[in-house]
Amino acid sequence: MNLVTINVDSILIGQPLPFSLRDASGALLAHKGYWVTSRNALDRMIGQREQLFIDLTESESQRRAYVGKLHKLVRDERPLGQIADLRMTTSDLDRQRERDDDAEPDWLALQQQTSTMLRDTNPISFGERLDKLQTQLGQHAQRNPDGTLFALIFLSSSELRMYSATHAMLVFVMCSMAAREVLKWSAALQATLGHAALTMNIGMTDLQNQLTLQKEAPNPEQRREIDQHATASVDLLKQLGVTDANWLEAVLHHHTKIPGPLNDRTEGQRMARLIQRADMFAARLSPRAARTPAMPATALQASYFDENRQIDQAGAALIKAVGIYSPGSFVRLANGEIAAVIQRGAETTTPRVVILANRDGLPTVETVVRDTSQREFRIILSVAHREVKVKINLERLLLLTKSPA
């Protein structure tokens, strides 16, 4: 460990910790993401300790922030005593994180990070990994929601590697956007929803990946594991130290099929229903060795109606949040062009798109962006990923998701 002192007065009350807090011996006092609810709660945590510490080895951002502040003191020729007493504040770390956030997300690294979290059996490291992942994904989704959707829907539609991780990330992002932008759920409820969305299938992670590559139908033993995975996930989460009743209820019921309004349910069951509809969308979207994936528009519309063929409130919230033609999907326009959706539009059916192939099917050289709310560029149908015969430059398209609408 590389422990440095944190300025206690800089810890913000009523907000999640941006780092884990430790005592002088390195023992964990509060993990990253822990909510300090009051000054009294902070005082109880500190107890008789004179100082609190953070471990720079846990976060590259923390290390860079510390080194940067140290270099500044040296450049300013401050006294050695002041340099030796250097303390970090949340403002120092926040500024460094803002600089780090400007970097483009490494989606393959996030896939691996999610996969590692889903296999972690240590309660302490599991909680830290989950909080770190949820913070990163949440920041990406708020800073560039279209780019985040594009990357995850593109990955879900085009490859089989680490299916369970990609699936969990996409469900998390969709649910988070619907809860925040449409349903207006509280920040606390959104945080619990995120935990549940990322861990709903933790009890069958390896089986999920296996079934994606398996050409045969599930055998009886696999079928039993599928049917019991919600209960298995809850049992595993309890072993990992999870006690939040809403989180556990959401995971337990994320496959329960009961139609009806969200407000008639408990908080856990509301989250479960939203997760279920996003889970349905993401599962249909992903390719399998035994079947071809559904197109995003088709998968979303299937989530729009409930078991009684009525409009489902949770499904409708998801469509309103991500659009019928969501970023990362492909469409054909009225003029015959093939395009990739790069940004959601004012309406769920009128996104901004970039042309990939002209009406003759030839790849375009120049970057041409279309507004599909215009009649001549309206979308006439979705196009499956496998039918797009143009080489996709993912980095280039992700940059376009951030351009002004």
Count of beta carbons in the 10 Å neighbourhood of residue 316: 18
Whether the pLDDT of residue 44 is over 60: the answer is: yes
The more confidently predicted of residues 386 and 290 is 386
* Cα–Cα distance for residue pair 368/336, rounded to 1 Å: 14
DSSP count for the chain of H helices, then E strands: 17, 9
What would the mean pLDDT of 158-169 be, rounded to a whole number? 85
Whether the pLDDT of residue 51 is over 60: the answer is: yes
Whether the pLDDT of residue 84 is over 70: the answer is: no
Whether the pLDDT of residue 82 is over 60: the answer is: no
* Cα–Cα distance for residue pair 39/263, rounded to 1 Å: 34
Beta strand residue intervals within 213-285, DSSP E: none
pLDDT score for 85: 45
Residue ranges of domains in the chain, CATH in brackets: 3-101 (no CATH), 107-312 (1.10.3210), 330-400 (no CATH)
The whole-angstrom distance between residue 1's C-alpha and the CA centroid of its chain comes to: 29
Whether the pLDDT of residue 234 is over 70: the answer is: yes
Sheet holding 352-357, edge to edge: 369-371, 352-357, 338-343, 330-333, 379-383
SS3 helix, strand, coil % of the chain, rounded to 5? 55, 10, 35
Q: CB under 8 Å to 215, separation ≥6 — which residues?
A: 289, 290
* Cα–Cα distance for residue pair 390/405, rounded to 1 Å: 25
Whether the pLDDT of residue 309 is over 70: the answer is: yes
- Whole-angstrom CA distances from 270 to 11, 56, 208, 360, 405 are 33, 39, 25, 47, 33
pLDDT score for 233: 96
Q: CB under 8 Å to 383, separation ≥6 — which residues?
A: 295, 330, 331, 332, 338
Count of beta carbons in the 10 Å neighbourhood of residue 123: 12
Count of beta carbons in the 10 Å neighbourhood of residue 94: 15
Count of beta carbons in the 10 Å neighbourhood of residue 34: 17
DSSP state of 325: S
The 10s digit of each residue's pLDDT in 251-291 is 999 999 888 899 999 999 999 999 999 998 888 877 776 66
What would the mean pLDDT of 287-311 be, rounded to a whole number? 79
HSE-CB for 204 with a 13 A CA cutoff: 21
pLDDT score for 339: 94
